Amino acid sequence: MYKVNEIFQTIQGEGHFTGVPSVFIRLQVCPVGCAWCDTKQTWQALAQDQVSFGDIIIKQVDSPTWCLASVDEIISQYQSLGFTAKHIVITGGEPCLYNLLPLTQAFEKMGCQCQIETSGTSEIICSDNTWVTVSPKIAMKGKLPVLTSAMQRANEIKHPVATQKDIDQLDALLTATNCQAKSGIALQPISQKPRATELCMQVCIERNWRLSIQTHKYLNIA
């Protein structure tokens, strides 16, 4: 069973799949504690916030409400809502607190491609074909280490950056985990701050890395 905060169809706004029509499945609970997190409503799963799946699919604003749902129920809702996107983004919260193998396999049987967006602080259990985006959260409030296994499983590493310290921490992590993402490394300016954006652009040009802009925020879409 999965604790689902919301499920909706939109355009993927960041990383390797920027611009791809996607169905987002946002799972509840995250112990990482990023100060800049824009989904803090997913951090806890309080009993008083539990609702039905019917309430979740009509949700219009961010809230901490969540429902318990099985793989079959999630697939059924995807079908009944008439979603056309075949790219499934499983995010959070921290989605890798859950065993995602049954969910990713079920979507793949329907001809969908799955992507997981994770902090890298939990073991990643999913299908072999799932695209794993690790956005390593280093030295956050929750004091959870970024796992070597997560870094080495990553198809892409998408690192949030505010200052040079964030670049230095990423360099140290890449060295410590002996990691080079299969499709490269992207730097993502935190909150579209101009100084952070300029720094990311400079480093990406110097290292032939990729710049990840949160396009959905500029477009003012979910």
Beta bridge partners of 209: none
- 93: annotated binding-site residue? yes
| 95 labeled part of a ligand binding site | no
Q: Does residue 208 contact residue 7 with C-beta atoms inside 8 Å?
A: no
Annotation-wise, does 72 bind a ligand? no
Other CB atoms closer than 10 Å to residue 172's CB: what's the count?
A: 11
With b for 16 or more beta-carbon neighbours within 10 A and e for fewer, the 85-105 pattern comes to: bebbbbbbbbbbbbebebbbb
> Does 175 carry a binding-site annotation?
no
Q: How far is CA 74 from CA 22, 42, 86, 87, 156, in A?
A: 15, 18, 14, 15, 26
**Is 44 annotated as ligand-binding?**
no
State how far the Cα of 111 lies from the Cα of 57, in Å rounded to an integer: 22
137 is in an annotated binding site: yes
| 209 annotated to a ligand binding site | no
**Binding residue per annotation — 26?**
yes
> Is residue 12 part of an annotated ligand binding site?
yes
Ligand-binding site membership of 136 (annotated)? yes
Q: Which residues are annotated as a binding site for substrate?
A: 11-13, 26, 91
Q: Enumerate the known binding-site residues for S-adenosyl-L-methionine.
A: 36-38, 93, 135-137
Which residues belong to the annotated binding site? 11-13, 26, 30, 34, 36-39, 91, 93, 135-137
Binding residue ranges for [4Fe-4S] cluster = 30, 34, 37
Which residues participate in the annotated binding site for Mg(2+)?
Answer: 39
